[in-house]
Structure formats: structure tokens, C-alpha cells
Chains A and B, each alone.
Chain A
Amino acid sequence: MIARLVVAAIALALAFFVDIPEAGAEYADVVINKQAEKNGMRPVVFPHWFHRIRFRCKVCHAELGFKMRAGANDVTMAAIIDGKFCGACHNNDIAWSVEKCDLCHSGKRGLPSGIYGGHETSGPGRW
């Protein structure tokens, strides 16, 4: 029982140092790849730094209802075209429209969903 707890604690501690996803990404970049690659598209890379220059967090995380957890939102292209999620802005009005597939689907193949550029805890999505 004790041994198991200690092992778990050590495993956790190691996870902090070893399991950090690629450190090169800009801080707070999010990869969304629950559906994309399965359907033949590159994973989506969402840059927080770029968007927070233009919008406060509350626009996406309160008004538009994006849950603050990488991978927690079930985004589909149908919903986006319908004006939900990214489509609330990427509609040829506030920002360029969905036709520019490659600008969103720009990730390296094989990347799992999650927050990148991480500083150690890498946020709630990891747990």
C-alpha cells in the first residue's frame, strides 16, 4: 500500500520532467486533433498568443462557450460552418472564412491534442 503510493508519487514527479510535450511551441499553443487526422486533415493548431492580442479570454471562454480544457470541446466542421466555435469569427466577417483550410489545419501529423509550449504543469488538459 505504502510502496504503491510512493511509486505513484515518484511516477508523478518524473512525469513533471519527462512527459513535457515538445518545448519548442509558442507558450499556450493548442493542438486539436480528435477528428482532423482521422479524416485526412493535418491537426489544427490554435495560437492563444495571436488571438489574445485581439480578443479577451472572456469572448471565447464565456460568450462563445469554449471550455477551458484542451480536447474538451467537440468541434466539427459542420458546427464551424454553422457559426459555432471558430466559425463565430472565421466567417469572412470578423476573420477570414473556413475556405482557408490550411491556415487552421497546419499541424505536424501524429501530434496528440493538448496544450503545448508548456511550462511544466501544462494545464488541466494533461490530467
Chain B
Amino acid sequence: MQASISRVKVHLSRWLAGSLLGLLAAGTVFAGNWLPLAKDGVHDPRSPAAKQLQEPKEALSRLTPDTTGNQVRWVLSLEKGEINPREKLLPETKVRKLDQDILLNLKGGMPIVRFPHKQHTEWLDCSNCHDQLFEQKTGATKISMFNILQGEQCGVCHGAVAFPLTECYRCHSVVRPGQTTNLPTHMNPQFHKPGGVGP
């Protein structure tokens, strides 16, 4: 039984490694172009809306560029004031923000994950994460890359709406002493650090 469990573990970790490599490959495919709505596979080109809706390229090409996702570095775009999205509709709503970094994965083989509350609470309310996704106590939630890749925990947003999981070093951003970030050379780790400069 022991042996078979470890065999399953080997298979699972191979699968995990495969998925991660797949992610790296996929992340490089889409950079640099926005498809017109009529060709994007979701909009009906015969719909009257096809000519009325705004083309992504028109709006997004003006914002700080990124190589992935919407090809917009949303955090920087907001910080620079290129966009000024509303924080609330109702006057009585309390806008809550927190400026505190949380360091996760202090023991693993990848660089440490720095989770910044500041950039998140610019966009999100505490209730979007607490206490459904994460406890309000550092280390209390059992977070794993496995869950994240399945669209849970950080993967609820990252990989769906916020920057995708291909960007390992935006999360794994605190390199341990003596550690190298040995990813394929076309992925420049400098760029993937938070606040890194676009291409």
C-alpha cells in the first residue's frame, strides 16, 4: 500500500510538472495582439453588436503593456492613474484597504511567495478572500500549487481574470539566498518580478 501511494504521488507530481511546463509554453503564444471581436470565437459576427462594441485593442493598447492575460499590467496602470475605476456605487459603502505583505511558502523549493494586501485591496474587498478562501492568520490556510492550478485559492482569480499562472515569479518573487531562478531563458525572471518593466 505504501509503495502504491508513492507511485500515485510520482504520477501526480509528473502531471503537475507537465502542467506547469504546459503553462510556460502557452503563456508565450498570445503576446502582442488583440483579436478583433468578430474573430474572437465568442461574439456572433452577424450580431448587430459586432459593429457597436469597443474593440479590445482600441482601449487596451493605450495602457501599460504586459505579455500575458489582457496584455495590460493592471497594477501599474492603476498606480499611474491611466485608469481610475470606481470603488463603490453606494455612498454608504465602506472602502476597506490594507497595506501588509504576507510571505508564504517559507520552506519550499521555489522562491518565497510575497502576497501584497495593498495591490489586492485596491481592487478587491476583504470579503472576496476572507474567510472563504483564506484565514485571517498567516500560515493558517493550507495553500498549495496543486489547488491553485485547479482554480482554487489564488487560482480563483489568477488564471481567470487576474494575471495568469504562467507568471511564476510575480508570486514567487522573494528569491532565497543562493537560489537561482532556472526557468527557460526566454522567460526573463526580472520581468516577472512585481513592478517589473514591460517589454
Q: Chain A residues in contact with chain B, CB under 8 A?
A: 1-2, 5-6, 9-10, 12-13, 16-17, 22-29, 31, 42, 45, 47-50, 52-59, 61-64, 68, 88-89, 94, 102-103, 105-109, 111, 115-127
Please pick, from A1, A57, A108, the residue contacting B123 in the complex, using a CB distance under 8 A.
A57
Bound-complex Cα distance A48 to B159 (A): 13
Please pick, from A24, A48, A58, the residue contacting B128 in the complex, using a CB distance under 8 A.
A58
A25 & B41 in contact (Cβ 8 Å cutoff): yes
A54 & B43 in contact (Cβ 8 Å cutoff): no
At the interface, yes or no: B140 with Cβ under 8 Å from chain A? Answer: no
Bound-complex Cα distance A118 to B151 (A): 12
Q: Chain B residues in contact with chain A, CB under 8 A?
A: 4, 7-8, 11-12, 15, 18-19, 22-23, 26-27, 30, 34-35, 39-44, 47-50, 52-54, 56, 59-60, 68-72, 74, 83, 85-90, 93, 95, 122-125, 127-128, 148-152, 155-157, 159-161, 164-166
Bound-complex Cα distance A28 to B56 (A): 12
Please pick, from B18, B35, B74, B122, the residue contacting A26 in the complex, using a CB distance under 8 A.
B35
In the complex, which residue of chain A has the Cβ closest to the Cβ of B52?
Answer: A103
Please pick, from B43, B85, B90, the residue contacting A63 in the complex, using a CB distance under 8 A.
B90
- Contacts A9-B15, A58-B124 given; indicate if A52 touches B87 (C-beta within 8 A): no
